[in-house]
Structure 1
Amino acid sequence: MAARSERGTAGDGPAYRTLADTLRAQILSGKLKSGDRLPAEPELCEMYGVSRSTVREALRALATEQLLVTRRGVAGGSFVAAPQPGDIAGLVQSSLALLTDADSVSVESLLEVREMLEVPAAGLAAARHAEEHLALLDETLFDPRGADPDVMFGANRDFHVGLLRAARNPVLEAVTAPIFGVVYERFVRRQAPEQFWTRVDHDHRDILDRVRAGDVAGAEEAQRAHLGGLRPTYERIDRERRATRD
């Protein structure tokens, strides 16, 4: 491959970003596969006509995106990662949180997409769950009377993530869990009133009963009612959040 200028091609920005874009494209296209070892730093310098510091910055950027992992030792180096749904979800949630903080994404947009994804996910959970999924969902149920908000928050999160896992579609989990995470971290964690958690407890038990019974339509109906019933609380908290910033 022809050597590139350390500044990258015109309009591409820093050289490390150009190199990161090139390697990312090879990973996403499948040219570089999970587990593949990248050439050593000196080889990458030679291949792309850049300095070692540029190579290191590019590899660091890709590691931050969970596309590469670095291993030490004789058999070490940079390897194409095999990310799990949780890894992808974490990256997406961080990006969505920044957009929400900048008011580039409204709570209404988040709730709309959440309903589009979580309602059918409940139906899939009813159709595909295993007993182990039901056991984990049972463990997330809580008594809202006098419970610590952090305990309820964690149990609520675990219920929704468990429901996504019961749907047995890792892509669905990867794209849906971040939206749930942003909604609750930004709009619910400590601002929700007591009756909010009472409603959550009631709804979760209803959804789980329908999932346990294998009632696909019923699980979807219960999930839709759950999300719709809590929407006014999210919207009120968002209005109050915006008012304090203005």
Structure 2
Amino acid sequence: MENQKLSEKVSARIRQEILDGRYKAGDKIPAEPELMKTYEVGRSSIREAIKSLAMAGILKVQQGLGTFVNELQPEENMTQRLRVADFDEINVVRKLLEEEIVKLAVENHTATELSEIEKHLNLRKQAIINEDRQACTNADISFHMAIAHASHNKVLAELYQNFSYTIRAFFTKREAQGIGHFAISHHLHEDLFRAIKARRKKQAQYIIREILGNNY
């Protein structure tokens, strides 16, 4: 979880530096050793950050040449909109996105992907027991992200990845509420996992609507 958290911070900083003009379209970004020094993280965090930015179309990795900023970045416009959008508007789109993701995950998940979903579900439960709010947030987002990957639709997964930054910011604003809303909804997350595992599509979609209807 810690590596994932660090990679997300690196990813966000690289995005911002592109927006600020430090790296322009077509520019080659520094090699891994330099990035490790700049962001003071390990190689695995750098690689995970680069991978996520490449999946989002922001960076382009060329074997033997290096990593470059993509020429076209329309996705950044969406990122900017998400930063200032009203959460109620965000949640409407998130509901549509997650219902489709869950439906596809029921149909397409593999045993490996199911294990990944279950892993983050267990981490979510442990974080609740430990009353670790940050770990709850990380595990919750990773749980839903694992379901997105299990959909086998890369576009939906990338869209959800963008939404995850906004969702994380929303959870941060609710920090004063502690872990209560995570604990209250955990049984629904367990039910969702079981429905996906059993390939019960209608039940899984009903449960995700319950989760999102209460902003869990």
Superposition TM-score tier, normalisation by shorter sequence: 0.5 to 0.7
Task: Determine the structure 2 residue equivalent to 1:188.
Answer: 171
**Take 1:151 and 1:58, find their aligned partners in 2: how far apart are those partners?**
35
Name the counterpart of 1:168. 152
Asked if residue 59 in structure 1 is aligned to residue 44 in structure 2, the reply is no
What is the root-mean-square deviation in Å for CA atoms of aligned residues? Answer: 3.3
Where 2:215 maps in the other structure, the secondary structure is helix
State yes or no: 1:114 paired with 2:94. Answer: yes
Identity level (%): 20
1:201 counterpart (144, 167, 186): 186
Q: Deviations over 1:183-231 (max 9, x none)?
A: 22x2113344332111332221010010001001111111111000127
C-alpha change, 1:109 and 1:125, in structure 2 (3 Å) is same
Instruction: Give the letter for the 1:165 counterpart.
Output: H
Instruction: Find the counterpart in structure 2 of residue 213 from structure 1.
Output: 198
Change (3 A) 1:69 1:223: same
Misfit runs of 4+, over 6 Å: 61-65, 77-81
> Are 2:27 and 2:69, in contact at CA under 8 Å, matched by a contact in 1?
no
Amino acid at match of 2:170: F
Offset of residue 124 of structure 1: 1.1
State the alpha-carbon separation in 1 of the partners of residues 106 and 195 from structure 2. Answer: 7
Q: Which structure's CA Rg is the greater one?
A: 1
Give how far 1:77 is off: 7.4
**Count of aligned pairs between the two proteins:** 161
CA deviation vs aligned residue, 1:21-67 (integer Å, no higher than 9, x gap): xxxxxxxxxxxxxxxxxxxxxxxxxxxxxxxxxxx955229999635
Aligned mates of 1:77, 1:148 — CA distance in 2: 39
How does the TM-score come out when normalised to structure 2? 0.63
TM-score normalized with structure 1 length: 0.56
Q: Distance in 2 between matches of 1:134 and 1:145?
A: 23
Q: 1:175 to 1:76 in 2, by over 3 A?
A: closer
* 1:139 counterpart = 2:131: no
Structure 1 stretches lacking a partner, 5+ long: 1-55, 82-87, 232-246
Give the direction of change, closer, same or farther, for the CA distance of 1:129–1:107 in structure 2 (3 Å limit): same
Q: Report the Cα distance in structure 2 between the residues aligned to 1:197 and 1:78, rounded to whole angstroms.
A: 38
1:98 CA drift (Å): 4.2
Change in 2 beyond 3 A, CA 1:78/1:214 = closer
Mind listing any 5+ residue stretches in structure 2 that lack a counterpart? 1-22, 31-52
Instruction: Please give the per-residue CA displacement for 1:118-161, whole angstroms capped at 9, x wherever unaligned.
Output: 01211111111111111111111223133311211111111011
Q: 1:229 to 1:70 in 2, by over 3 A?
A: same
> 3-state SS of the aligned residue for 2:58?
coil
Contact 1:133 1:162 in 2 (8 A): yes
Instruction: Determine the C-alpha separation between the residues in 1 that align with 2:79 and 2:68.
Output: 29
Given that 2:195 and 2:204 are in contact with CA atoms closer than 8 Å, whether structure 1 keeps it comes out as: yes
Deviates more, 1:156-165 or 1:145-154: 145-154
Partner of 1:226: 211
